[in-house]
Chains A and B, each alone.
Chain A
Amino acid sequence: MLLTIRHYAFRQAQCYLRPSKTSNRQQLSAFARLLSSLAVLEQREGKLQSASLSAVTAAQKLGGSITGFIAGSGIRSVVEEAAKVEGVEKIVMVENSAYDKALPESYAPLLAENIKKEGFTHVFAGHSAFGKNLMPRVSALLDVQQISDITAIKGEDTFVRPTYAGNAILTVQSSDKIKIITIRGTAFATAEAEGGSAEITEGVDPKVEIETEWLSEDLAKSNRPDLATASKVVSGGRGLKSKEDFDRIIPPLADALGAAIGASRAAVDSGFADNSLQVGQTGKNVAPQLYLCAGISGAIQHLAGMKDSKVIAAINKDADAPIFQVADVGLIGNLFDKVPELTEKLKQ
Chain B
Amino acid sequence: MPTPLKILVPVKRVIDYAVKPRVNKARTAVETSGVKHSMNPFDELSIEAAVRMRESKNPPVDDILALSAGPAKCVDVLRTAMAMGADRSIHVEIPDAGQGQAELEPLGVAKLLAKVVADEGRNLVILGKQSIDDDSSQTGQMLAGLLGWGQATQASKIEIDDSDRVTVTREVDGGVETVRFPLPGIITTDLRLNEPRYASLPNIMKAKKKKLEKKSLSDYGVDERRRLKTVKVEEPPPRKGGGKVEDVDGLIAKLKELGAI
Interfacial residues, chain A to chain B (CB-CB below 8 A)? 101, 103-105, 108, 127-130, 132-141, 143-149, 158, 162-176, 210-220, 228, 232, 257, 265, 269, 274-276, 281-282, 284, 289-290, 300-301, 307, 310-313, 315, 319, 324-333, 338, 341-342, 345-346
Complex contact B251–A145 (CB within 8 A)? no
Complex contact B227–A176 (CB within 8 A)? yes
Known contacts A141-B145, A164-B132, A216-B177; A301 and B17 CB within 8 A of each other = yes
Number of interface residues of B (CB under 8 A): 79
A218 CB contacts on chain B under 8 angstroms: 175-177
Q: How far is the CA of A289 from the CA of B110 in the complex (A)?
A: 39
Q: How far is the CA of A330 from the CA of B105 in the complex (A)?
A: 41
Please give me the residue from chain B that is nearest to A332 by CB atom.
Answer: B244
Please give me the residue from chain B that is nearest to A149 by CB atom.
Answer: B135
A-B contact pairs, 28 of them (CB 8 A): A108-B145, A132-B153, A132-B154, A133-B151, A136-B106, A136-B142, A137-B142, A140-B143, A149-B137, A164-B133, A170-B230, A174-B228, A211-B182, A212-B181, A213-B180, A215-B180, A216-B178, A219-B172, A265-B191, A275-B192, A282-B129, A307-B239, A315-B251, A326-B239, A329-B245, A331-B244, A331-B247, A341-B248
Per-residue 0/1 for B163-206: is the Cβ within 8 Å of any A Cβ (1 yes, 0 no)?
00001001111111111111000000011100000000000000
A289 CB contacts on chain B under 8 angstroms: 259-260
B261 CB contacts on chain A under 8 angstroms: 232, 257, 290, 346
B135 CB contacts on chain A under 8 angstroms: 148-149, 162-165, 281
Known contacts A139-B142, A140-B145; A164 and B15 CB within 8 A of each other = yes
Most buried by A among B134, B146, B242, B250: B242
Q: How far is the CA of A170 from the CA of B138 in the complex (A)?
A: 17
Known contacts A129-B173, A147-B228, A168-B21; A342 and B138 CB within 8 A of each other = no
Complex contact B231–A171 (CB within 8 A)? yes
Complex contact A171–B172 (CB within 8 A)? no
Please give me the residue from chain B that is nearest to A265 by CB atom.
Answer: B191
Please give me the residue from chain A that is nearest to B240 by CB atom.
Answer: A328
Most buried by B among A101, A130, A218, A346: A218
Please give 19 more A-B residue pairs, beta carbons under 8 A apart, in addition to A162-B236, A170-B232.
A104-B151, A133-B153, A139-B145, A146-B138, A174-B228, A176-B227, A213-B179, A215-B177, A217-B178, A218-B176, A269-B191, A276-B172, A276-B173, A282-B129, A289-B260, A313-B251, A331-B248, A338-B251, A345-B252
B241 at the interface (CB under 8 A from A): yes
Contact check: which of A127, A165, A167, A332 meets B235 at CB < 8 Å?
A167
Q: How far is the CA of A289 from the CA of B260 in the complex (A)?
A: 6
Complex contact B228–A103 (CB within 8 A)? no
Within 8 A of A (CB), among B98-155: 105-107, 110, 129-130, 132-146, 150-151, 153-154
